[in-house]
Amino acid sequence: MPSSKSNLMLSGDISNFREMSTTSLIENNGYQDSVYINAAKIFQGIRNEKPQDKILVRYGNELVPSLPDFKDECSQRSSYELAFSALKYQDLLENILLDSCFYPCQSIPDELTSLIVVMLYDLQDRKFQARQISDEEESIPEVRDVERYLYSFKTKLAAALARCRIKHDALSIEYILPETLRKQEQRASALPLYAWINTLKSSLEDIYKELKKEGFTKVESVSDFEGYTYCLDKHCHDVLVFPASLKEEILNLELFTGYKLILQDKSRSLAVHSVKALLNMDDDIIVAHIGSRLTAAHMSVLSNQSTSKVFVCGVKSQAKEVELKELFTRMECGSMC
């Protein structure tokens, strides 16, 4: 196992990092309050606007000036996924609100309609079951108010959804979508998973051995995937590729929880390798205007064998600096100042 560590330095004032390993989705039983708020803000900005003469559900504009504030990358991903899911089914969700007589709602202002829509999508996705809330979770009054009101209407909302499915002869809401969109989603869900090797904590050979112990078999390419298999990426020498169907299983492996393997989109790894190819032995690196701490860490890992230093900019508070230092320490990415 490599013992040397690369130099990773922090300075503040350029970009804002939003990446940690907190889980925002609580075992399919709902999201944290902050995810609903952020998803509502995103949805407010991307929702389909209808002609004035066809508007039945009105959205206020109070959420527009306020940008999402993500706790970490996981909550950011969850917020965007929830917002775009609501966008995909916007017409259906609005019809449910109208058919159930939930909307118009005298006790909830139009400024919170986006919040209602994203929370309704999640509620029906949970089969109208109550959300499990952690005692440690920060409570947001608007979320709790909308949640209580939606849940008080759950029978009427579920009935409205059932009528819509009967009308479209659909087993689930996915079948209400156009066929072209369903096929696009199927292709997207089948895309393989990419994970880069943190060579500061483990070597490629050790990773192979540990994966073999876990029942994984190394194959030549993605086309050979079947069951618990993986392969080495053709473009990045430190990136492994896994079948999409194994996401939950691999994230629970000690290799991932121990930061030996880092799950990240291949485009991020390609960017890091492209920079590395242009570096001379003593060149330093400034990471600016980037939203991923893991990308900065990957750059640090790749430059470990040289005298290069990686300057990570954009830490705007002492609390965020502490979080970064803790993450980089766990990943053994070296000292920071």
Residues 211, 139 share a domain: no
Token readout for 32 is 């944290």
For the stretch 282-293, pLDDT in tens is 788 887 755 677
Task: Select from 185, 212, 236 the last residue of a domain.
Answer: 185
- The CATH number for 209's domain is 3.30.70.1170
Residues 111, 166 share a domain: yes
- The verdict on residue 103 lying in a domain is yes
Q: What is the mean pLDDT of residues 234-250?
A: 93
Residue 21 is predicted with a pLDDT of 37
For the stretch 122-137, pLDDT in tens is 999 999 999 988 877 8
Residues 207 and 231 sit within 8 Å (Cβ to Cβ): no
Residue 53 is predicted with a pLDDT of 86
Residues 130, 246 share a domain: no
Number of structural domains (the chain) is: 2
Report the range of poorest mean pLDDT among 94-98, 99-103, 169-173, 181-185: 181-185
Token readout for 327 is 């993450």
- The verdict on residue 326 lying in a domain is yes
| Token pair 């499990």 in the structure block, residue | 132
Residue 337 is predicted with a pLDDT of 41
**pTM as predicted:** 0.63
Rounded-to-integer distance, Cα 303 and Cα 218, Å: 27
- The verdict on residue 206 lying in a domain is yes
- The verdict on residue 24 lying in a domain is no
For the stretch 256-282, pLDDT in tens is 989 999 999 999 899 899 988 888 877
- The verdict on residue 2 lying in a domain is no
- The verdict on residue 205 lying in a domain is yes
Q: Percentage of the chain surpassing pLDDT 70?
A: 85
Residues 198, 180 share a domain: no
- Of 116, 97, 114, 111, the C-alpha closest to 42 is 114
Residue 255 is predicted with a pLDDT of 95
Range of the domain at 126: 33-185
Task: Select from 118, 152, 185 the last residue of a domain.
Answer: 185
